[in-house]
Every structure is written in structure tokens, then in C-alpha cells.
A = this chain, B = another copy of it.
Amino acid sequence: MASQYIVEGDNPDLSQERRKATFRVDSLSELLYGVEHLKSRRMIAKLVDTTPELHDTFPTTFMSREEKVENAARKVTIRKETASGSLLRAERRYFIFLVSTLVMHVDGHPLSLHGVMFVPLLMQQTDEEQRQKWLPRAIKGEIIGTYAQTELGHGTNVRQLETTATYDADNEQFIVNSPTVTSTKWWPGNLGKVSNYAIVVAQLYVKGNCYGPHQFIVQLRDENTHLPLPGITIGDIGPKFGINTNDNGFLRLNNVRIPRKQMLMRYSKVTQNGQYIRPIHEKLGYGGMVFVRSVMVSQQALFLAIACTVGIRYSCVRRQGEITPGSGETDLLPQLHALSSGLKAVVTHQVALGIEQCRMACGGHGYSNASALPELYGTAVGGCTYEGDNIVLLLQTARFLMKMAKMAIAMNMQSASVTTKYLFRDRPTKSSINQYSALDHSVLIEAFEHIACRLIFTVYNRIENLKKCGRTREEACNECSVDLCKDDYFSGQQVAYLRSVVYKAMNTIRPNAVPLVDAFDINDREMNSVLGRRDGNVYENLLQWAQLSPLNKTDVITAYIKHLGPYMKQERSKI
């Protein structure tokens, strides 16, 4: 089928693929985005294409973090002028989806949190007077703000936040304070170097009573010099797994005084004389979270769409391996090759999964390079690809197993390898594993051998049947590729036994968890992780570690001097 995606000079393999389409591509795009949305997407894409100031002069991946932030600041501040009306109108609607990926890519930018948190909160959580005072300044860009909730020691659980905001009725002020190391605000996007305001979440204290977390507008930096205000200690938290164009930051408040009217008072209120007025419904603040999460789902869909596009196009371009091998290598695989190939593939895969599981189990801090886990994953997961791509290796092991299956069926015992003797043995037709024997090694091995046999012979028979239907051995193998790469599985009953044994084992292991990893004997230098330190003194060391981030060399970064500062000043000078 003809496609607008086919252009002269394209890789012919790709054009060939496009001609095979059995549907009209644009119809699907319209279905996916909606006709109007698709039009806007394309209009904006064209606008960006023809606006050189919105382009990178250099691929951002080659830039240092300082350069990335500066480059993004340049682009984010010129948007309004160059792309004027249409882009600006569309911007609100597509802020996250389109502008951020088209102009900013996926790595974040200096106004991320300003757009998705600061402005929306000023819309939703302010009373009328507050809205009139703050919202126009924020929307125009006279000030840049963010949202500071999470703390060094507290992510998910808002109720455990330690930052306090104590009302001083005599001065009609709140005193905002970080009483402990773990109360340091940590992670908020664009907090480190870019924002001069933040909505800070703190425990509200009035007349000695604590009324739980509330939101307060706190000025962080001087509007003219951009230097941190007295009582404010602030900076970048260092490189992360991703989103490094964002200056995620830390913030310590040393009894900083703010006017009473900077508590967001749409729902809860504190009166001048210190009366606390409860919101009608406790959870009115949570609507925003539901919104952000549903936005995230679409954003994540775009991420996966990008990955699929890259993966599928590239796989049609590359010429990798052949279904029918040119030589007889795969028929002569020694068992050691089969074993090391399969083992390498399974181990690298499981290790990568395991590291990510450990990383995510560390919550937000696992995402910071301070945990050492992002770099560790990056290194370990390379092993899935280098020294033989895992899929290729699994298929080689699988071919070897098919050969062994054939011999087992022919009872050709002499040709069997030591590693696959179990294919020749008489076995019970059902695994004998149960809730009592599920931790017995020999029974476990028996179970694995049983399952391996069943899977191997199932696939073998499937291939033989396909061959009988006229396919070549190679074609038949190729069609079974997915099966050949499948993990073993247990029956539902057996899974239930194993699961209950796993629960019991967890109870036994739990008290030994730390000593068990201590036994790996990995010292702090080797581990290179602030989170994994032997002494557990994590938070003060996270704070110390972050001071070394190059973004923290100066209080005011070049991105501000060159772009963000002039941008805000210009907006302020407009009448």
C-alpha cells in the first residue's frame, strides 16, 4: 500500500515493509490520536521543524548536565517568542505529551514542575485572593516554582513528613523549619537551581497542636540576584538514572518566616488570631494525584510507542543471522557451548531483573546514582547483549536440546550428553513435589527435570508436526522460537505448594536478611553506594554526597544567568 512514509533514498528494506501494509497508516493515526489532536500534533511538529532556535545545536546526550540544563533553559524560554500564538495555545494542551518530547526530549527541562505542579496547585488550592496574587505571575513566567513534598527520609507516607510550619500569631507569620537531617526536602524537580519559589508541604502547628501536612508558598531565591534567601540551604541532588536535565533538588529551611497568607487556603485555613478551620473533606488535596497519574499513563504510552518504533524499524533494517544457517555450526554444538550459552542468557536476564527489583525496592533514592544501582544495572544489563545476544544463545541451547530429544526418542543413549541424561531416564508422569518436600534439593531437581522433559518433548513434537505439514526444519524451529525461549512452569497445585513454602522460608530468612548480605563481604568502597553503606548512616551521607554535584559549584548557574533570569525579568517588566 502507498504510504506517505515512503520517500526516495530510504533504506529499501524499510520501504518494502511499508508496501506490505494491509491498512492505511493515517487512518490508524487518526484513530489513535483523534483527528483534531493529530492535526495539532503535526502542525506543532512542523512549527518546531521550521524554528531553528528550538533545535539542539548538538545532541544533548553528549552534553554535561550543566550544558543540558542550559540548553533546555534556552529552548524553554524562547518558546513563547518564536513559536508565538499557535504553539502557545497548543502548549497548554500538549505540554507533557508533545512539546516536552518534540522540543525537550524525554530528559526533563527547567519548567517541568512549574508546568505540571506549581501552576495547577496555584489554580486548585488557593483562595480567591491568593489566586489573584500568585497565578498571573506564575503563568506569565515572572517567577518559577516547584512543589516540595518528599523528604530525605520520607517519600510515600505524607503523614510522616517532618518539616514544620508553626504559626506565630503575634507576627501573623508561619515559621517553616527543617528540624532533622531526614526532614531535608529531597527530590523535588527543578528545586535545586532553577526555581525561586516552591510550594512546600509541612506539618502545620497552631497553638501547640499539629494539624497534619499543609501547603505553603515559600520564596527560595532573591528575584533579582537569584541567590538563596537567608535560612535557605538549597542545591542539586546529583545525577540519576534518567531525567538528568531536571535539577531535582534538596532544601533545608532554617526557621524561615513567611506571611500567613502564603499557606494555601482554599480548603484549610488559619485565621489571623490562630484559629484553624478544617477542610470539608480531608482528601480534597488528592484529586491532583489522580490527575497526574492518569497523565502519566498517556505519557508512558508515548514512551513505549517510541521504543516500539525504534525497535521495529531497526529490526527491519539490520541483517542479523539467517534462519537457514550457512554452515553446520548449530548441528555440532558441543554440550559445553549449549550449557554456557543457556546459563549466560538465563543468569544475565535474572540478574538484570533482580538489580532493578532491588533498585525499585529502595524507592526514590534507588533512582539516584548515589545508590550505585542505576550504573550497576546499566553495566549488568549489557551482559544480556554482549558475548552473544541472549535470544540467539537461548535458541542455540534449544537446538541442542532438540537434538538430544531426538536421540532420547531413538534411545541413542551413547550420543547423549552428561547434561541431558535426564531425558533418557524413566520418570514418574507427575512430579512428586508437595508442601513437605518443596525445599528438598533432590525433589526440586526431580521436579525441574520432569518439567524440562515435558517442555522439551512438547516442543520437539510440535516441530515434528509442523515439519510434517511441509515446513523445513529451520522454518519450523523459527515458528517455535517463542516456545523454545520459555521458562519452565509448574502446575497450579505445585505452584500453590511452592508459594506456601516460599512464605514460610521468608519468615525464616527475614531475621537473617542483613547478615546474609553482609556475608557477601562487599565493602563500602567496592559497593560505592550511599544507600548500601555498612554503617547504615544513609541520610547525612546522601546530603554530603550531593554537595559534590558539579551543578552545585556555584549558587547561580549559567542557565539562569543566560536564559531564565532575563526571561523572568522581561516578563516582570511588561505592564
Interchain CA distance A332-B286 in the complex, whole Å: 12
Most-contacted residue by chain B among A13, A293, A380, A512 (CB, 10 A): A293
Distance in Å: Cβ of A377 to nearest Cβ of chain B: 7
* Contact of A297 (CB < 8 Å), options: B157, B160, B301, B347: B347
Q: Which of B14, B157, B348, B492 contacts A535 (CB 8 A)?
A: B14
Binds B, one of A249-257, A387-395, A409-417, A439-447: A387-395
A363–chain B nearest beta-carbon distance, Å: 6
Nearest CB in chain B to that of A326: its residue:
B159
The 10 closest A-B pairs by CB, nearest first: A242-B378, A11-B536, A310-B532, A311-B358, A21-B515, A14-B536, A28-B519, A17-B514, A20-B511, A307-B358
A148 → chain B, closest Cβ, in Å? 14
Q: A106-B376, A314-B531 are in contact. Are A156 and B359 (CB under 8 A)?
A: no
Set of chain B residues within 8 Å of A329, measured between Cβ atoms = 283
**Number of copies of chain A assembled together:** 2
Residue A59 interfacial (CB < 8 Å): yes
Most chain B beta-carbon contacts within 10 A, residue among A62, A316, A483:
A62
Q: Are B58 and A548 in contact (CB under 8 A)?
A: yes
Binds B, one of A1-9, A271-279, A421-429, A565-573: A1-9
User: Are A305 and B517 also in contact (CB < 8 A) when A290-B340, A363-B320, A386-B364 are?
Assistant: yes
Residue pairs across A and B with Cβ atoms less than 8 A apart, 23 shown, are A18-B515, A23-B512, A38-B521, A48-B525, A49-B525, A62-B238, A106-B375, A154-B319, A242-B377, A242-B380, A243-B382, A286-B337, A294-B340, A294-B343, A303-B379, A307-B377, A310-B366, A310-B529, A310-B532, A312-B517, A313-B532, A364-B389, A479-B503
A164 at the interface (CB under 8 A from B): no
A320–B514 CA distance with the chains assembled, in angstroms:
17
Q: Which residues of B contact A308 (CB under 8 A)?
A: 354, 358, 517, 520
Size band of the A side of the interface? 35 or more
Interface of A is mostly: helix
What separation, in Å, do the CA atoms of A516 and B23 have in the docked complex?
Answer: 9
Give chain A interface residues in 1-39, CB to chain B under 8 Å: 1, 3, 5, 7, 9-11, 13-15, 17-18, 20-23, 25-26, 28-29, 32-33, 38
Query: Per-residue 0/1 for A343-361: is the Cβ within 8 Å of any B Cβ (1 yes, 0 no)?
Result: 1100110110011111111
Whether B312 pairs with A513 at a CB distance below 8 angstroms is yes
Q: Which of B98, B294, B304, B355 meets A304, CB within 8 Å?
A: B355
